[in-house]
Structure formats: C-alpha cells, structure tokens
Chain A
Amino acid sequence: MVDLGQLFPVVVALAFVASAGCLLAAVQRAADPRVRKSFLALFFVGLLTVNLAPFPSLLPFSHLHKYTTTSSNPTTYHDVYLVDAQGDELRYDGDAAPPAGTLIRFGRGIATEYDEPRARATAAHLLEEGRNYRGRIERGRGVDPHADFPPHALGYGWDRDLLAEYDEFVALRVYYVELRYTASGTAIEERDRTLVATYTDDGTLTRNGSQ
C-alpha cells in the first residue's frame, strides 16, 4: 500500500510546477477569453480547496487560517531562552533566527520531536544565530530596523540596553510553558514552566533530564 504521507511532497511539487506551467501558457494565450476563463476556473477551484479543506497548502495556493480553533485552557507551548556566562537567562528574540520568526515549533522539536543529532544541530544553530544577531545590534544596525518590512509581531525584541545587561551567551534552554486561565478567561491564574532541554556550547544536549 502506498503511504500517502510519503506521496504528499511529490503532489506538492507537481502542483507547483503545473500551476507555474498553466500561468505561463495562459498568459501567452490570454487574448482568447476561453483561456482566461479556464485559468480562472482552475485558480479559484484550487484556492477554495486549499482554503476550505483540512490539509497543508498546495503552494502556490495558500490560506490565512489564523487562530482557527478555540483556545485551550491550559495553553501550552515551548519557549526558547539563551543563558549567559553568569547564568542569567534572556528570552530569545525570534528575529534573531530568520526567516523563522516564531520559534515554538523549533523549541518543541529540540525538546521532544527531533532525533538527537537534529535536536543538537537546531539548538546549536539558534545559539549561533542569537550571538550573531546580538553582534549586529551591538554594532548598530543603522536604519535597517526602520526600513525593513516589520516583523511578524509587535512586542518583545532585543535592543542595546537590554543586551548590555548580559554577558556572553553560552547555552540555550527550552522551557515547556503552561498558562492556566481563570474560568472567565480574563486573567492568567497560574504560569508554570519546566526546563525540558539544555544545550551548552561544548555541544552537550540534555533533554528531559537525560543526556
């Protein structure tokens, strides 16, 4: 039996190549209204399918499904921190690791999902990117932060003053965070966090208390 999961990447690639081919061909023959209408019919069928069916996007057909499920109580997620030589923790700035932006899935990967080599490589990459980004901020990024397209979310981010409080980064930690809300959903009753992975720059990765 063919594993559909294995087949999906091939379907994705074929869909992309076919879409590109259809576009190039349709534009060449766009003077014919039947060509335009056929292209548009295929386009909107594809777009509606990806927008209404529960499977990953067949790019270039994409959707904007955001916060589509009801929020759960408690809410849990993985959060990434850097540790300096003094042992002080600084929450990771997603902009340090482009193009990811949001690091929840990579934190979860390091802590639970990836095999050992991938988890170590990912943690090492994030630590390295954190150091590089810090260096760029400390050297002064000029107008870049103002001229660049804004990041995914407004809010937390590193700046020179914040970084000045920290020594050199030597380790990366992943926490499993649990937010419990009051029944009315208007306040956080309790915020728990558990250390689930630590990577130090000598290459050691500790997960769930075991190496």
Chain B
Amino acid sequence: MFLNYYADDAADSVVNLAIARVVVAALGVWKLLSYDWASIRDWPVYANDYYLLLVPRWIQPYLVVEKYLAVVGLVLFALGAAHRYATPVTAVLVAHLGVARYTLDPSGASQALFTIVYLMAFFALYRSQDLLSVDGLRSTDAALTDVRSALRAARDRAAGRETTTPLTLGLLTVAVLYFGSGVTKLVRGPAWEWATPWNLGQYTLWAQTYFGVDPGPGALLLQYPLVVQLAAVAVLVLETGFLPWILAKRDPTPFVVGLLGMHVGIAVVLGPFFLDQIIFLLLFADWARLLRWVGEVSPLPGGRPQGQP
C-alpha cells in the first residue's frame, strides 16, 4: 500500500513523483493563502526573538507580496515548469515565510512549511527524474499526442535512472522528523515515565481542558488505563522505529498506517490536528497502483487498456 522508496520498490515512481509534486504544491498554496501574513507586523511581541534578524520590521509589510510570489512559484512547481530556477527560489521564499510565521507560532503547522521546502529542494535537485512534468515532457523528443504516450515515454526514460528519487529523500526526511520527536521523548521523558498510563492520561485531561475538544472520546479512553499505556508505548515505538524500519528496507505500511492512526487519535482525543503530517505520510502511498486499479474497475476514456503492464 505504501512504498519504501529507500528500498527501491519504486515501480511507477514517475507517476507517483508527479502526484506527490502536485500534492505538495497544493498543500503549500493552501497554507500560504489560508494564513494571515499581514497581521504579523501588528504584534508588539514575538514568541521567538532569535529569528527576527531574518524578518526585521521593515520586511514585515512585504510578507503579503512574498506570499503571492511564492504562490506563483508553487503553481510552476505543481506543473514541474522551470524546476531549475523557480523551484529553488520558491523554496527559499516559502522557508522565509515559514521563519516569519515561526516568530509567533512555532507549532507543527508552521514547521510543515519547512517540510514542503525540503521536498521542493529534493525535486529541484533530482529534477532529471521528474519526467512527468512540463520540463520533463518538453525534453522528450517524440511528439506526444496523448497522456498515454507521454506516460510511456516518461517510463521508458526513467528505466535507467538511479535509485535515489525526491520521494526517497522525502521519506527519510519525514522519518527523521518522527525519529527526533520519538528519541527526545525517550531521553527527556524519560521513556519509562513517558510510557505510563498517568502521563498520557494527564496530557489528555490537560488538552481537553485547554483545547476544549469533545471530552467523550477521552473520557472513554481514560476508563482503560491499559489501553492508555499501550497508546503511549505505541507512540514511542511508531515515532522512534519508523526511521530504522525504513533504513532496514522493510515495507513501511504498518508504520505509516500506525502514524496516521496516531494523528487521527490525537485530533479526536486531544484536539491538535496535524493535517500536514497526514498529507506528508500519504505521499508515500502507491498512487500509480491505485490509479491502475481504478482504471481497471472503471475503464475511463484515455485510461490504459486492461491487461497492459
């Protein structure tokens, strides 16, 4: 279901790369347009003073302009056009906007802007593999009359590619972010205290009080201390184990499904909603296979005829 790109089970990665690129770009556009950039300058204080050299007062009025430039860049990135110039420049703009937001909101939602930046950097560096893109198709010699022949041409050219792709590096990066969170819990918790039922129980009660989420699911969970403890251990195992699991070239599906479940559980029981992380994890699904399956179940005009590889 999910692919370990580090283990090179990257069949059809040209299609998956293109889908991942569009999803990352769409997430970036959505976040940039949803967030309020104009009000950053109105704050008399900051959450983190040490990033202010990068977003001094005189720059703050231009953040809105920067947002629109970045949105244009992200649209080009979605199309895979001008990867060499637009993508790295846009990545720097998004990173700078991320720093600006981080001065007031050092939350996971701000952090996610940097994960988008990393993924853009990987696409720009490995643009020669991103063949199902405007750049990739323009560099193809044969005249491409339809999507099918474009796909075939991109696949043929990808046959001799090297094994590292933007998604290999993206998977490692997402895994490192969980690893850092998990190891820090093991060390600072420390693990034997973090994995107690009272620790997660208290966090649940605090979060319910602070975020004001529906107390029903949490109250139900708290009736079963053993389940609470298992959930705490599961968090430590999932966050810490994901990276070694990927490096061991195992099928990542159990970990990805577990982490997705963790995020849904956190949103329902505690309140914080890490939608970005859910989207990043879904980048590693085998979308090409899903599309093929959909094509077989309901043959669409222009879809691949049945029985072809």
A binding-site residues for B, Cβ under 8 Å: 8-10, 12-13, 16, 19-20, 23-24, 26-28, 30-31, 33, 36, 39-40, 43-44, 47-48, 50-52, 54, 56-57, 59-73, 75, 77, 79, 91, 98-102, 104-106, 109, 114, 118, 121-122, 125, 129, 147-157, 179, 181, 183-188, 191
Contact between A69 and B125, CB atoms less than 8 A apart: no
Task: Categorize the interface residue count of chain B.
Answer: 35 or more
Contact between B205 and A179, CB atoms less than 8 A apart: yes
Chain A residues with CB below 8 A from B176, complex form: 44, 47-48, 51
Point out the residue from A47, A65, A106, A154 that lies within 8 Å of B271, measured CB to CB: A154
What are 27 A-B interface contacts by the 8 Å CB criterion?
A: A8-B50, A9-B49, A13-B53, A19-B95, A23-B88, A24-B88, A27-B87, A28-B84, A30-B126, A47-B173, A51-B181, A51-B184, A57-B102, A59-B95, A59-B114, A60-B117, A66-B108, A69-B194, A70-B190, A71-B203, A99-B101, A100-B104, A156-B212, A156-B213, A157-B212, A181-B205, A185-B197
**With A47-B173, A63-B177 given, is the CB distance from A118 to B108 under 8 Å?**
no
> Scoring B residues 160 to 185 as 1 if CB is less than 8 Å from chain A, else 0, what string do you get?
00100000010011001111110111
- Give the segment of B3-11, B27-35, B136-144, B291-299 that binds chain A: B27-35
Minimal Cβ-Cβ distance residue in A for B40:
A99
Q: How far is the CB of A154 from chain B (nearest CB, A)?
A: 5
With the chains together, A67 CA to B274 CA distance in Å? 14
**With A44-B176, A52-B180 given, is the CB distance from A26 to B125 under 8 Å?**
yes
Residues of B7-65 at the interface with A, using a CB-CB cut-off of 8 Å, are: 30-31, 34-37, 39-40, 42-45, 47-54
**With A59-B98, A64-B181 given, is the CB distance from A122 to B45 under 8 Å?**
yes
* A30, A67, A149 pick with most chain B CB within 10 angstroms: A67
Contact between A12 and B121, CB atoms less than 8 A apart: no
Chain B residues with CB below 8 A from A181, complex form: 198, 201-202, 205
Chain A residues with CB below 8 A from B128, complex form: 30-31
Contact between B183 and A52, CB atoms less than 8 A apart: yes
Contact between A69 and B177, CB atoms less than 8 A apart: no
With the chains together, A10 CA to B52 CA distance in Å? 10
Point out the residue from B91, B222, B270, B272 that lies within 8 Å of A187, measured CB to CB: B222
Contact between A149 and B194, CB atoms less than 8 A apart: no
Contact between B44 and A59, CB atoms less than 8 A apart: no
Q: How far is the CB of B51 from chain A (nearest CB, A)?
A: 6
Contact between A154 and B211, CB atoms less than 8 A apart: yes
Contact between B225 and A186, CB atoms less than 8 A apart: yes
With the chains together, A104 CA to B92 CA distance in Å? 30
B binding-site residues for A, Cβ under 8 Å: 30-31, 34-37, 39-40, 42-45, 47-54, 84, 87-89, 91-92, 95-96, 98-99, 101-102, 104-111, 114-115, 117-118, 121, 124-128, 162, 169, 172-173, 176-181, 183-185, 188-190, 193-194, 196-203, 205-206, 209-214, 222-223, 225, 267-268, 270-273, 275, 277
Chain B residues with CB below 8 A from A63, complex form: 111, 177, 180-181, 184
Contact between B92 and A99, CB atoms less than 8 A apart: no
Contact between A149 and B180, CB atoms less than 8 A apart: no
Chain B residues with CB below 8 A from A65, complex form: 180-181, 184
Q: How far is the CB of A75 from chain B (nearest CB, A)?
A: 5
Chain B residues with CB below 8 A from A9, complex form: 49-53
With the chains together, A39 CA to B213 CA distance in Å? 43
Contact between A100 and B273, CB atoms less than 8 A apart: no
Q: How far is the CB of A7 from chain B (nearest CB, A)?
A: 10
Contact between B53 and A125, CB atoms less than 8 A apart: no
Q: How far is the CB of B242 from chain A (nearest CB, A)?
A: 12
With the chains together, A151 CA to B212 CA distance in Å? 13
Minimal Cβ-Cβ distance residue in A for B30:
A149
With the chains together, A2 CA to B104 CA distance in Å? 28
Q: How far is the CB of A123 from chain B (nearest CB, A)?
A: 10
